[in-house]
Amino acid sequence: MVGIGLIGTGYWGKNHARNWKEMLKEGIIDRLIFCDIDESRVKELAGGEVEYTTDYKEILKNPEINAVDIVTPSHTHFPLGRDAILAGKDVFVEKPMTMSTSEAKDFVKLAEEHKKILMPGHLFRYHPGVTKVKEMIDNGDFGRIYYLYTNRLAYSAPRRDMGVMYALGVHELDLYCYLLGTNYPNMVKMTEGTFLQPKIEEFASILMGFDNKISGYATESWISPFDRKMRNLTVVGSKLSVKIDYMKHNEIEVFDGVIETQEGDNGMYPVVSNGTVKTVSIPEKEPLKTELTDFVNSIVTRKQPLSDMYSGMRAVEMVEECLKYGFFKPSK
Ligand SMILES: NC(=O)c1ccc[n+]([C@@H]2O[C@H](COP(=O)([O-])OP(=O)(O)OC[C@H]3O[C@@H](n4cnc5c(N)ncnc54)[C@H](O)[C@@H]3O)[C@@H](O)[C@H]2O)c1
Protein backbone atom coordinates (compact mmCIF):
# COMPACT_ATOMS: atom_id res chain seq x y z
CA MET A 1 0.00 0.00 0.00
CA VAL A 2 1.49 3.32 -1.09
CA GLY A 3 -0.19 6.53 0.04
CA ILE A 4 1.22 9.86 -1.15
CA GLY A 5 0.69 13.34 0.26
CA LEU A 6 1.63 16.10 -2.18
CA ILE A 7 2.57 19.30 -0.33
CA GLY A 8 2.66 22.37 -2.61
CA THR A 9 0.47 22.70 -5.70
CA GLY A 10 1.94 25.86 -7.25
CA TYR A 11 3.67 26.34 -10.62
CA TRP A 12 5.65 23.07 -10.53
CA GLY A 13 3.43 21.19 -8.04
CA LYS A 14 0.61 21.24 -10.64
CA ASN A 15 2.68 18.86 -12.77
CA HIS A 16 3.29 16.57 -9.79
CA ALA A 17 -0.46 16.64 -9.09
CA ARG A 18 -1.30 15.63 -12.67
CA ASN A 19 1.17 12.71 -12.59
CA TRP A 20 0.07 11.46 -9.16
CA LYS A 21 -3.58 11.52 -10.28
CA GLU A 22 -2.61 9.44 -13.31
CA MET A 23 -0.60 7.04 -11.14
CA LEU A 24 -3.56 6.64 -8.77
CA LYS A 25 -5.80 5.71 -11.71
CA GLU A 26 -3.17 3.28 -12.99
CA GLY A 27 -2.93 1.59 -9.57
CA ILE A 28 0.74 2.55 -9.08
CA ILE A 29 -0.29 4.23 -5.81
CA ASP A 30 -3.28 3.53 -3.59
CA ARG A 31 -4.03 6.78 -1.75
CA LEU A 32 -3.47 10.45 -2.60
CA ILE A 33 -3.98 13.70 -0.72
CA PHE A 34 -3.07 17.21 -1.90
CA CYS A 35 -2.07 20.05 0.41
CA ASP A 36 -1.46 23.74 -0.13
CA ILE A 37 -1.86 26.72 2.16
CA ASP A 38 -3.66 28.38 -0.75
CA GLU A 39 -7.06 26.72 -0.52
CA SER A 40 -8.48 27.91 -3.85
CA ARG A 41 -5.42 26.51 -5.66
CA VAL A 42 -5.45 23.09 -3.99
CA LYS A 43 -9.23 22.75 -4.25
CA GLU A 44 -9.16 23.46 -7.97
CA LEU A 45 -6.36 20.94 -8.58
CA ALA A 46 -8.02 18.27 -6.46
CA GLY A 47 -11.03 18.75 -8.74
CA GLY A 48 -13.41 16.73 -6.55
CA GLU A 49 -11.44 13.54 -7.34
CA VAL A 50 -8.72 13.85 -4.70
CA GLU A 51 -8.93 14.64 -0.99
CA TYR A 52 -7.20 17.88 0.02
CA THR A 53 -6.15 19.89 3.07
CA THR A 54 -4.50 23.25 3.80
CA ASP A 55 -2.53 21.89 6.78
CA TYR A 56 0.36 19.51 5.99
CA LYS A 57 0.22 18.17 9.58
CA GLU A 58 -3.10 16.49 8.64
CA ILE A 59 -1.14 14.48 6.07
CA LEU A 60 1.59 13.63 8.57
CA LYS A 61 -1.02 12.25 11.02
CA ASN A 62 -2.68 10.08 8.36
CA PRO A 63 -1.60 6.42 8.77
CA GLU A 64 -2.60 5.60 5.16
CA ILE A 65 -0.05 8.10 3.83
CA ASN A 66 3.46 6.66 4.00
CA ALA A 67 5.31 9.24 1.91
CA VAL A 68 5.21 12.93 1.08
CA ASP A 69 6.18 14.83 -2.05
CA ILE A 70 7.35 18.35 -1.16
CA VAL A 71 7.02 20.94 -3.94
CA THR A 72 7.01 24.10 -1.83
CA PRO A 73 9.48 27.03 -1.94
CA SER A 74 13.01 25.70 -1.46
CA HIS A 75 13.69 27.33 1.93
CA THR A 76 10.76 25.29 3.35
CA HIS A 77 12.05 21.90 2.08
CA PHE A 78 14.06 21.03 5.19
CA PRO A 79 11.58 22.12 7.90
CA LEU A 80 8.71 20.31 6.15
CA GLY A 81 10.85 17.27 5.29
CA ARG A 82 12.18 17.01 8.86
CA ASP A 83 8.61 16.97 10.24
CA ALA A 84 7.68 14.31 7.68
CA ILE A 85 10.61 12.03 8.54
CA LEU A 86 9.92 12.45 12.27
CA ALA A 87 6.31 11.45 11.53
CA GLY A 88 7.62 8.25 9.88
CA LYS A 89 7.18 9.23 6.22
CA ASP A 90 9.49 8.75 3.23
CA VAL A 91 10.25 12.03 1.46
CA PHE A 92 10.56 13.19 -2.12
CA VAL A 93 11.69 16.81 -2.19
CA GLU A 94 12.06 19.07 -5.20
CA LYS A 95 15.47 20.41 -6.09
CA PRO A 96 17.40 22.11 -4.65
CA MET A 97 17.09 19.67 -1.74
CA THR A 98 17.83 22.55 0.68
CA MET A 99 19.20 26.07 0.48
CA SER A 100 22.34 25.29 2.55
CA THR A 101 24.86 22.48 2.94
CA SER A 102 24.39 22.36 6.71
CA GLU A 103 20.64 21.74 6.26
CA ALA A 104 21.33 19.17 3.54
CA LYS A 105 23.69 17.28 5.89
CA ASP A 106 21.13 17.35 8.73
CA PHE A 107 18.43 16.15 6.31
CA VAL A 108 20.53 13.20 5.14
CA LYS A 109 21.55 12.29 8.70
CA LEU A 110 17.93 12.32 9.84
CA ALA A 111 16.84 10.13 6.90
CA GLU A 112 19.67 7.68 7.67
CA GLU A 113 18.85 7.55 11.39
CA HIS A 114 15.15 6.93 10.71
CA LYS A 115 15.80 4.60 7.74
CA LYS A 116 13.65 6.74 5.47
CA ILE A 117 13.93 7.31 1.73
CA LEU A 118 14.95 10.89 0.97
CA MET A 119 14.95 11.65 -2.74
CA PRO A 120 15.77 15.01 -4.34
CA GLY A 121 14.06 15.93 -7.61
CA HIS A 122 17.02 15.84 -9.97
CA LEU A 123 14.63 15.59 -12.88
CA PHE A 124 17.11 15.47 -15.75
CA ARG A 125 18.52 12.13 -14.59
CA TYR A 126 15.15 10.78 -15.75
CA HIS A 127 15.01 12.50 -19.14
CA PRO A 128 14.81 9.74 -21.82
CA GLY A 129 17.58 11.47 -23.82
CA VAL A 130 19.84 11.41 -20.75
CA THR A 131 19.00 7.74 -20.14
CA LYS A 132 20.14 6.99 -23.70
CA VAL A 133 23.31 9.10 -23.44
CA LYS A 134 24.23 7.51 -20.09
CA GLU A 135 23.87 4.07 -21.70
CA MET A 136 26.07 5.20 -24.62
CA ILE A 137 28.74 6.65 -22.29
CA ASP A 138 28.81 3.46 -20.21
CA ASN A 139 29.11 1.41 -23.43
CA GLY A 140 32.08 3.51 -24.57
CA ASP A 141 30.20 4.59 -27.74
CA PHE A 142 31.60 8.14 -27.63
CA GLY A 143 35.21 7.00 -27.73
CA ARG A 144 37.08 9.58 -25.71
CA ILE A 145 34.74 12.25 -24.29
CA TYR A 146 36.17 15.74 -24.84
CA TYR A 147 33.53 17.99 -23.34
CA LEU A 148 29.88 18.50 -22.43
CA TYR A 149 27.94 21.75 -22.61
CA THR A 150 24.49 23.01 -21.79
CA ASN A 151 22.57 26.16 -22.59
CA ARG A 152 19.64 26.63 -20.25
CA LEU A 153 18.40 30.00 -21.41
CA ALA A 154 15.15 31.91 -21.13
CA TYR A 155 13.73 35.38 -21.30
CA SER A 156 11.36 35.32 -18.36
CA ALA A 157 10.76 37.03 -15.04
CA PRO A 158 13.49 35.81 -12.67
CA ARG A 159 12.38 33.84 -9.61
CA ARG A 160 12.20 35.86 -6.41
CA ASP A 161 13.30 33.10 -4.01
CA MET A 162 16.61 31.98 -5.57
CA GLY A 163 18.93 32.72 -8.46
CA VAL A 164 19.87 30.62 -11.48
CA MET A 165 22.51 28.63 -9.57
CA TYR A 166 20.07 27.00 -7.14
CA ALA A 167 17.23 26.95 -9.68
CA LEU A 168 19.07 25.75 -12.82
CA GLY A 169 22.82 25.28 -12.30
CA VAL A 170 22.08 22.62 -9.70
CA HIS A 171 20.84 20.42 -12.58
CA GLU A 172 24.12 20.56 -14.52
CA LEU A 173 26.32 20.17 -11.43
CA ASP A 174 24.44 16.99 -10.59
CA LEU A 175 23.93 15.68 -14.10
CA TYR A 176 27.49 15.93 -15.42
CA CYS A 177 28.74 14.02 -12.35
CA TYR A 178 26.04 11.39 -12.87
CA LEU A 179 26.85 10.99 -16.57
CA LEU A 180 30.59 10.73 -15.96
CA GLY A 181 30.18 8.39 -12.98
CA THR A 182 31.79 10.54 -10.31
CA ASN A 183 30.65 12.19 -7.09
CA TYR A 184 32.28 15.55 -7.81
CA PRO A 185 34.14 17.32 -10.61
CA ASN A 186 37.82 17.91 -9.79
CA MET A 187 36.98 21.62 -9.72
CA VAL A 188 34.16 24.03 -10.54
CA LYS A 189 34.53 27.70 -11.46
CA MET A 190 31.62 30.07 -11.77
CA THR A 191 30.93 33.66 -12.68
CA GLU A 192 27.50 35.18 -12.19
CA GLY A 193 25.57 38.34 -12.96
CA THR A 194 23.12 39.88 -10.48
CA PHE A 195 21.34 42.87 -11.98
CA LEU A 196 17.70 43.14 -11.01
CA GLN A 197 17.22 41.88 -7.43
CA PRO A 198 19.71 41.66 -4.56
CA LYS A 199 21.36 38.22 -4.21
CA ILE A 200 19.27 36.68 -7.03
CA GLU A 201 21.71 36.06 -9.90
CA GLU A 202 19.98 36.06 -13.27
CA PHE A 203 22.94 34.69 -15.17
CA ALA A 204 25.73 32.21 -14.42
CA SER A 205 28.51 30.62 -16.37
CA ILE A 206 29.79 27.34 -14.93
CA LEU A 207 32.96 25.48 -15.85
CA MET A 208 33.71 22.00 -14.51
CA GLY A 209 36.88 19.96 -14.88
CA PHE A 210 36.84 16.16 -14.66
CA ASP A 211 39.39 13.37 -14.92
CA ASN A 212 41.00 12.71 -18.32
CA LYS A 213 40.78 16.41 -19.17
CA ILE A 214 37.01 16.23 -19.74
CA SER A 215 35.44 19.69 -19.44
CA GLY A 216 31.84 20.57 -18.69
CA TYR A 217 30.37 24.00 -19.39
CA ALA A 218 26.95 25.45 -18.70
CA THR A 219 25.29 28.79 -19.26
CA GLU A 220 22.25 29.49 -17.12
CA SER A 221 20.20 32.62 -17.81
CA TRP A 222 16.78 34.16 -17.35
CA ILE A 223 17.73 37.25 -19.34
CA SER A 224 18.54 35.83 -22.76
CA PRO A 225 16.40 37.80 -25.26
CA PHE A 226 17.43 35.85 -28.38
CA ASP A 227 16.89 32.37 -26.90
CA ARG A 228 13.53 32.61 -25.21
CA LYS A 229 13.44 28.98 -24.07
CA MET A 230 16.46 26.85 -24.80
CA ARG A 231 17.55 23.85 -22.76
CA ASN A 232 19.97 21.39 -24.23
CA LEU A 233 22.96 19.18 -23.62
CA THR A 234 25.73 18.33 -26.09
CA VAL A 235 28.32 15.64 -25.45
CA VAL A 236 31.30 15.77 -27.81
CA GLY A 237 33.31 12.58 -28.21
CA SER A 238 36.09 11.30 -30.47
CA LYS A 239 33.88 8.70 -32.21
CA LEU A 240 30.52 10.45 -32.07
CA SER A 241 28.67 13.35 -30.48
CA VAL A 242 25.09 13.71 -29.22
CA LYS A 243 22.78 16.64 -28.71
CA ILE A 244 19.69 16.45 -26.51
CA ASP A 245 17.02 19.11 -26.78
CA TYR A 246 15.42 18.76 -23.35
CA MET A 247 12.11 20.07 -24.73
CA LYS A 248 11.87 16.88 -26.85
CA HIS A 249 11.18 13.60 -25.07
CA ASN A 250 11.33 11.30 -28.08
CA GLU A 251 14.52 12.00 -30.04
CA ILE A 252 18.19 12.89 -29.85
CA GLU A 253 20.63 14.03 -32.54
CA VAL A 254 23.72 11.93 -33.21
CA PHE A 255 26.73 13.22 -35.17
CA ASP A 256 28.92 10.35 -36.39
CA GLY A 257 31.98 12.31 -37.57
CA VAL A 258 35.35 11.17 -36.24
CA ILE A 259 37.33 13.81 -34.30
CA GLU A 260 40.54 12.10 -33.33
CA THR A 261 44.25 11.65 -33.87
CA GLN A 262 45.34 8.79 -36.12
CA GLU A 263 48.69 7.23 -36.84
CA GLY A 264 50.05 7.92 -40.36
CA ASP A 265 53.35 7.52 -42.24
CA ASN A 266 54.72 10.72 -40.70
CA GLY A 267 53.49 10.14 -37.15
CA MET A 268 50.23 11.13 -35.51
CA TYR A 269 47.88 13.54 -37.26
CA PRO A 270 44.43 14.92 -36.40
CA VAL A 271 41.38 13.69 -38.33
CA VAL A 272 38.10 15.53 -38.37
CA SER A 273 35.76 13.77 -40.79
CA ASN A 274 32.60 15.46 -42.04
CA GLY A 275 30.10 13.03 -40.59
CA THR A 276 26.33 13.43 -40.70
CA VAL A 277 23.74 14.39 -38.13
CA LYS A 278 20.98 11.82 -37.70
CA THR A 279 17.86 12.19 -35.61
CA VAL A 280 17.44 9.02 -33.56
CA SER A 281 14.07 8.16 -32.02
CA ILE A 282 13.94 7.16 -28.37
CA PRO A 283 10.97 5.84 -26.37
CA GLU A 284 8.91 8.84 -25.28
CA LYS A 285 8.45 9.15 -21.53
CA GLU A 286 7.62 12.12 -19.32
CA PRO A 287 10.70 12.59 -17.08
CA LEU A 288 8.62 13.65 -14.06
CA LYS A 289 6.49 10.51 -14.22
CA THR A 290 9.59 8.30 -14.49
CA GLU A 291 11.08 10.16 -11.52
CA LEU A 292 7.99 9.80 -9.32
CA THR A 293 7.70 6.13 -10.30
CA ASP A 294 11.30 5.63 -9.14
CA PHE A 295 10.30 7.19 -5.79
CA VAL A 296 7.40 4.73 -5.48
CA ASN A 297 9.76 1.84 -6.29
CA SER A 298 12.12 3.02 -3.55
CA ILE A 299 9.27 3.21 -1.05
CA VAL A 300 8.36 -0.39 -1.85
CA THR A 301 11.83 -1.95 -2.26
CA ARG A 302 13.69 0.29 0.30
CA LYS A 303 16.48 0.63 -2.27
CA GLN A 304 18.04 4.07 -2.96
CA PRO A 305 16.53 5.83 -5.99
CA LEU A 306 18.64 6.84 -9.01
CA SER A 307 18.50 10.39 -7.65
CA ASP A 308 19.65 9.70 -4.11
CA MET A 309 19.94 12.00 -1.10
CA TYR A 310 23.75 12.03 -1.26
CA SER A 311 23.66 13.51 -4.77
CA GLY A 312 21.16 16.09 -3.49
CA MET A 313 23.56 17.07 -0.71
CA ARG A 314 26.59 17.29 -3.03
CA ALA A 315 24.72 19.46 -5.55
CA VAL A 316 23.72 21.94 -2.80
CA GLU A 317 27.31 21.96 -1.51
CA MET A 318 28.69 22.83 -4.97
CA VAL A 319 26.13 25.61 -5.54
CA GLU A 320 26.70 27.11 -2.09
CA GLU A 321 30.49 27.19 -2.46
CA CYS A 322 30.33 28.62 -6.00
CA LEU A 323 28.04 31.43 -4.83
CA LYS A 324 30.33 32.19 -1.86
CA TYR A 325 33.74 31.92 -3.50
CA GLY A 326 33.23 31.64 -7.27
CA PHE A 327 34.68 28.12 -7.23
CA PHE A 328 34.37 24.68 -5.63
CA LYS A 329 37.03 22.08 -5.00
CA PRO A 330 36.09 18.83 -3.28
CA SER A 331 38.03 18.13 -0.08
CA LYS A 332 40.18 15.02 -0.54
N1 LIG B 1 12.62 19.94 -11.03
C2 LIG B 1 12.34 21.03 -11.71
O3 LIG B 1 12.63 21.10 -12.89
C4 LIG B 1 11.63 22.17 -11.02
C5 LIG B 1 10.97 23.13 -11.79
C6 LIG B 1 10.34 24.18 -11.14
C7 LIG B 1 10.38 24.27 -9.75
N8 LIG B 1 11.05 23.33 -9.03
C9 LIG B 1 11.10 23.42 -7.56
O10 LIG B 1 9.79 23.23 -7.04
C11 LIG B 1 9.63 23.99 -5.83
C12 LIG B 1 8.39 24.84 -5.94
O13 LIG B 1 8.56 25.77 -6.98
P14 LIG B 1 7.29 26.49 -7.67
O15 LIG B 1 7.84 27.26 -8.80
O16 LIG B 1 6.20 25.50 -7.92
O17 LIG B 1 6.84 27.50 -6.52
P18 LIG B 1 5.41 28.15 -6.32
O19 LIG B 1 5.61 29.32 -5.42
O20 LIG B 1 4.69 28.34 -7.61
O21 LIG B 1 4.59 27.03 -5.52
C22 LIG B 1 4.84 26.69 -4.19
C23 LIG B 1 3.51 26.29 -3.54
O24 LIG B 1 3.78 25.83 -2.22
C25 LIG B 1 2.73 26.31 -1.38
N26 LIG B 1 3.21 26.28 0.02
C27 LIG B 1 4.15 27.06 0.59
N28 LIG B 1 4.34 26.71 1.88
C29 LIG B 1 3.48 25.67 2.13
C30 LIG B 1 3.21 24.87 3.28
N31 LIG B 1 3.82 25.06 4.44
N32 LIG B 1 2.27 23.91 3.16
C33 LIG B 1 1.61 23.70 1.98
N34 LIG B 1 1.83 24.44 0.87
C35 LIG B 1 2.76 25.41 0.94
C36 LIG B 1 2.42 27.71 -1.92
O37 LIG B 1 1.14 28.16 -1.50
C38 LIG B 1 2.51 27.46 -3.42
O39 LIG B 1 1.27 27.04 -3.97
C40 LIG B 1 10.94 24.80 -5.66
O41 LIG B 1 11.76 24.14 -4.76
C42 LIG B 1 11.55 24.77 -7.05
O43 LIG B 1 12.97 24.85 -7.03
C44 LIG B 1 11.65 22.28 -9.64
Tell me: pLDDT of 227 over 90: no
Tell me: pLDDT of 314 over 80: yes
Region 15-37: what's the mean pLDDT? 98
Residue 226 φ then ψ, to 5°: -90, -10
Ligand 1 pocket mutation, candidates 69, 72, 99, criterion most atoms within 8 A of CB: 72
Q: Are 50 and 18 in contact (CB under 8 A)?
A: no
Q: Which amino acid is located at 289 in the chain?
A: K
Is 122 a pocket residue for ligand 1 (Cβ < 6 Å)?
Answer: no
The superfamily CATH assigns to domain 125-286+316-328 is Dihydrodipicolinate Reductase; domain 2 (3.30.360.10)
Parallel, antiparallel or unpaired: strands 3-7 and 67-70: parallel
Domain boundaries, the chain: 3-121+289-307, 125-286+316-328
Ligand 1 pocket mutation, candidates 36, 53, 150, 220, criterion most atoms within 8 A of CB: 36
Question: How far away, in angstroms, is 288 Cα from ligand 1 center?
Answer: 15
Cα–Cα distance, 2 to 11 (Å, whole number): 25
Region 226-251: what's the mean pLDDT? 95
pTM to 2 decimals?
0.97
Is 36 a pocket residue for ligand 1 (Cβ < 6 Å)?
Answer: yes
Is 53 a pocket residue for ligand 1 (Cβ < 6 Å)?
Answer: no
pLDDT confidence of 154, banded at 50, 70, 90?
very high
CATH class of 3-121+289-307: alpha beta
With a CB cutoff of 8 Å and minimum separation 6, the contacts of 288 are: 15, 16, 19, 123, 126
96 preceded by a cis bond (ω within 30 of 0): yes
Parallel, antiparallel or unpaired: strands 241-245 and 229-237: antiparallel
Per-residue pLDDT at 266: 87
Tell me: pLDDT of 237 over 80: yes
Ligand 1 atom nearest to CA at 12: 16
